[in-house]
Amino acid sequence: MDFETLEKDIEQLNKIYVNANHKSRERYHELYDRIYENLLMMESEGIIELQKDTKGLYYLRELLINDGPEFSYTVIFWKKGDESKRYKIGVCIRGIPICKPDLK
């Protein structure tokens, strides 16, 4: 996946109203998982950069699976070499995961 396609997926994710019905919530989680997996791949290929003071993308999944010390966690990322459009991806053990533009 290229970064432009990722941005389209993030835009689509944020248009889903998760409380509308079960199908919309299911679609949201499927799209979030796809975005997350693609971010892992993009990080390993050097397509994206992460904010330096984060624990990384793997920590998001670890937090959900193992109930880490935090109740929520967010990672800021951007396309390598272009920090003007930043995004955040996060999880919360009490709510839905997020992936959206990081508005400074």
- pLDDT (tens digit per residue) in 25-64: 999 999 999 999 999 999 999 999 999 998 999 998 888 7
SS3 90: strand
Closest CA to 97 of 35, 39, 9: 35
pLDDT at 42: 97
pLDDT at 9: 98
Q: Could you tell me if 73 and 6 are in contact, meaning their C-beta atoms sit under 8 angstroms apart? A: no
> Does this model's pTM top 0.85?
yes
